[in-house]
Structure 1
């Protein structure tokens, strides 16, 4: 034993003093234990989801009992009562606080608030990073286009053979057009949709995770992925299939590319807060920006799931280019509306 706050060093304490302190501790517990047990019974009933078993008197007394227990805990900490009583009070006060002040709804309620304004609010907070990520993606697309236009060998360097699926320089116009056609195998579409969702989720999560390295790897990843897009765009435009490729891409790309854009912006947001924390410490700035970016990433996962379904099913089942472009345009309009017009109404309700 080290120090007693009221009696000096432990070796200087006489047996009568120890006995007096013990009596004070016992008296303190006995005077308040009845209220503690009453509060515990109410908390247990609430934890088990049985509020009907609690009497009206106990419900009315709950706030008072909680404050008394919190006050007892403060006194116990100051007078160093026995560890058992102190631990019991700490647990009781913590459990009671959660039942009185803790959240009342679970995941469904949280998800409703998330869709009703939490997500869009987090996205709006990243407007600067979204602009930066958009500029990087546009630049990456232009780089891919210009590299392949200058030397077609860059196409094979940017796009591996297993990824091109026959879409490569030297292919005939008919072969390229056939590669844009749909598939009618439902089982194959399911596997394809699952693969696309996994791949795009990995790219987005990586773009977000790399933000902790001050955002530099995130920028490089965005440049590379959009350079692949630029190379493929050059291929189809050069073959006179620019409109068909744009329609083929838009049906899922308006959702998928926007999701990757938001993921990259989330990563850049964390990197920027770490590089320029302002008056905060780096850890505090990273924690604050990380919570906001994580909210955006939950929405990114939702968008990627939708994009995977569009890419694996709708794009394969809808053959005419105008139909594909119409779906892609509607999805783009939906996301723009959600993040601009409807967001203000949602924020007001919240």
Structure 2
């Protein structure tokens, strides 16, 4: 897009935001939060495609004023990393929270389909999990250690291999959103059906509790992160299908950049899940129940808080600051 067209397309929005910040003409907090995120997207777009333009200076000044007025802080290079995790990602998650809901609904639906299919078709589990996994796990159940398959290999080898695989799944789930979200839906379907049939298999063998207290030590963060990455993919697909006031290409670029931020935010949880699977899950059979359950609650609580609760806290803080200005 030529710079003139870019300015013409967004001029009214920028002037509206400028009036909001400098003249205390504050709008509904939902609109203000959304407008701020759009402004940051426009600034990033201008920095990429018009690096020598005066538009960057204008947007930078406006963004700086908005940040200081809304958050009462100074924007410095030293806190940019912190502000990304503390403020930017939570506001994005709040603004696009409906996609998180969509991802959970889609994933949950296919988990149920996987479990029901396993219940009514004796061959379904082997079709999804493979004969080797099923046979090995059955042998381990007879030996009294249902999750022994997760103890093979070295700690570091398992950690690295598992983490790389989970990163691959997450990135694929996001990037497949370019197919109008259908590709992301496919990834959520595959993983959901696998999880549903997997858990039903352990239930059918009478060792559901043993599987839960072992596998979900790392699975709580791993599965939750996949769903969040799916939400980023659905957002990307929606940016293509529903560009709103933007051109389709501009909407796609904004959706891509926003989705990448959500994707990156899941990486620490993916690394931690890999670490737990490589170094902790293998000892689940000798752990007391209170410890394994405590780890599951802690890990699930951490990631749930960050993506489901903390965004509302940041938003309420924004609303309080807006009202106080």
* Corresponding residue for residue 299 of structure 1: 265
Is the aligned partner of 1:112 residue 2:82? Answer: yes
Give the length in aligned residue pairs: 254
* Alpha carbons of structure 1 residues 153 and 258: separation in structure 2 relative to 1, 3 Å: same
What is the alpha-carbon distance in structure 2 between the residues aligned to residue 188 and residue 172 of structure 1?
Answer: 19
What is the alpha-carbon distance in structure 2 between the residues aligned to residue 292 and residue 127 of structure 1?
Answer: 13
Q: State whether residues 247 and 322 of structure 1, in contact with CA within 8 Å, keep that contact through their aligned partners in structure 2.
A: no
* Alpha carbons of structure 1 residues 330 and 165: separation in structure 2 relative to 1, 3 Å: farther
Is the aligned partner of 1:180 residue 2:147? Answer: yes
Match of 1:195 among 161, 164, 172: 161
* Corresponding residue for residue 251 of structure 1: 217
* Corresponding residue for residue 279 of structure 2: 313
Give runs of aligned pairs for residues 1-16 of structure 1, distance below 5 A: none
What is the alpha-carbon distance in structure 2 between the residues aligned to residue 155 and residue 234 of structure 1?
Answer: 9
Is the aligned partner of 1:335 residue 2:303? Answer: yes
Q: State whether residues 182 and 318 of structure 1, in contact with CA within 8 Å, keep that contact through their aligned partners in structure 2.
A: no
Give unpaired runs (5+ residues) of structure 1.
1-90
- SS where residue 174 of structure 2 aligns? helix
1:148-182 CA-partner distances (Å, limit 9, x unpaired): 222222222211345557125xx57434x414259
* Corresponding residue for residue 160 of structure 1: 130
* Alpha carbons of structure 1 residues 105 and 137: separation in structure 2 relative to 1, 3 Å: same
Give unpaired runs (5+ residues) of structure 2.
1-50, 65-74
What is the alpha-carbon distance in structure 2 between the residues aligned to residue 172 and residue 92 of structure 1?
Answer: 64
* Alpha carbons of structure 1 residues 133 and 154: separation in structure 2 relative to 1, 3 Å: same
Instruction: Give the greater-gyration-radius structure (CA).
Output: 1
TM-score of the superposition, structure 1-length normalised? Answer: 0.64
* Alpha carbons of structure 1 residues 92 and 286: separation in structure 2 relative to 1, 3 Å: closer
Q: State whether residues 119 and 299 of structure 1, in contact with CA within 8 Å, keep that contact through their aligned partners in structure 2.
A: yes
Give runs of aligned pairs for residues 185-334 of structure 1, distance below 5 A: 188-319=154-285, 320=287, 321-334=289-302
Which 10-residue stretch deviates more, 239-248 or 195-204? 239-248
1:212-270 CA-partner distances (Å, limit 9, x unpaired): 11010110111111111111111110111111212222211221111101100000001
TM-score of the superposition, structure 2-length normalised? Answer: 0.69
What is the alpha-carbon distance in structure 1 between the residues aligned to residue 222 and residue 280 of structure 2?
Answer: 14
What is the alpha-carbon distance in structure 1 between the residues aligned to residue 242 and residue 150 of structure 2?
Answer: 49
What is the alpha-carbon distance in structure 2 between the residues aligned to residue 221 and residue 341 of structure 1?
Answer: 26
* Alpha carbons of structure 1 residues 290 and 183: separation in structure 2 relative to 1, 3 Å: closer
- SS where residue 240 of structure 1 aligns? coil
* Corresponding residue for residue 21 of structure 2: none
Runs of 4 or more off by more than 6 Å in structure 1? 91-94, 100-104, 182-185
* Corresponding residue for residue 91 of structure 2: 121
What is the alpha-carbon distance in structure 2 between the residues aligned to residue 307 and residue 92 of structure 1?
Answer: 43
What is the alpha-carbon distance in structure 2 between the residues aligned to residue 345 and residue 196 of structure 1?
Answer: 33
What is the alpha-carbon distance in structure 1 between the residues aligned to residue 282 and residue 91 of structure 2?
Answer: 34
* Alpha carbons of structure 1 residues 336 and 211: separation in structure 2 relative to 1, 3 Å: same
